[in-house]
C-alpha cells in the first residue's frame, strides 16, 4: 500500500496515482452497475406491480404519448375508445356491492354507517371555570 511507503517519495507517488486510478475505475463500475440494476428493477416491476402506473400518473411522470386508450377485455376483444376503456377498467377493478350477498359483518357495518353520529352532550369547556380563574 502506498501510505506505508515513507522513504521513497517517487515510489509512494506512483503507487498513489495507481491507487487513485483503480479507485476511479471501481467507482465508475459501481455507478454503472447500480444504474443497470435500477433499470432492470424498474423494467421488471412494471409488469408485476399495477401501482407503478398509478404512481407515475400521480407524480406527473407519465408521458403523454403513453395514454391508455384501448384495453383488452376479458373475453378477448379490445375497447374502441377512451370512455369504453375507462368503463372496462372500472368494471374490472371495482366490484359491485350487493346487500343480498353480505356477511353478518357487512350487515353490521352497513347498519352502523346508516345511523347518524350523535354529538357529545357534555360541554367540557365551562365558562364559569374560566371566569373564576380570571377573578383571582
pLDDT, tens only, 89-121: 887 777 777 777 778 888 888 888 888 887 776
Q: Where are the alpha helices (DSSP H) in the chain?
A: 9-48, 51-59, 82-93, 104-114, 127-135
Nearest to 98 by CA among 82, 83, 110: 110
Assessment of whether the complete model's pTM goes beyond 0.85: no
* Cα–Cα distance, 23 to 97 (Å, whole number): 62
Residue burial 44-59, b: 16+ Cβ < 10 Å; e: rest: eeeeeeeeeeeeeeee
pLDDT, tens only, 42-56: 776 556 666 677 677
Collapsed DSSP state (helix, strand, coil) of residue 37: helix
Is the pLDDT assigned to residue 136 strictly greater than 70?
Answer: no
pLDDT, tens only, 15-41: 889 999 999 999 999 999 999 988 887
Amino acid at each position: 500500500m502506498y501510505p506505508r511507503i515513507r522513504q521513497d517519495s517517487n515510489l509512494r507517488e506512483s503507487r498513489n496515482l495507481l491507487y487513485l486510478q483503480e479507485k476511479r475505475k471501481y467507482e465508475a463500475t459501481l455507478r454503472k452497475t447500480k444504474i443497470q440494476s435500477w433499470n432492470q428493477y424498474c423494467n421488471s416491476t412494471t409488469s408485476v406491480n399495477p401501482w407503478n402506473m398509478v404512481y407515475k400518473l400521480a407524480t406527473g411522470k407519465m408521458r403523454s404519448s403513453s395514454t391508455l386508450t384501448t384495453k383488452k377485455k376479458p373475453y378477448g376483444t379490445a375497447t374502441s375508445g377512451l370512455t369504453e376503456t375507462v368503463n372496462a377498467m372500472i368494471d374490472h377493478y371495482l366490484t359491485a356491492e350487493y346487500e343480498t350477498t353480505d356477511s353478518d359483518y357487512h350487515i353490521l357495518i352497513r347498519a352502523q354507517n346508516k345511523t347518524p353520529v350523535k354529538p357529545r352532550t357534555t360541554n367540557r369547556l365551562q365558562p364559569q371555570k374560566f371566569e373564576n380563574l380570571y377573578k383571582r
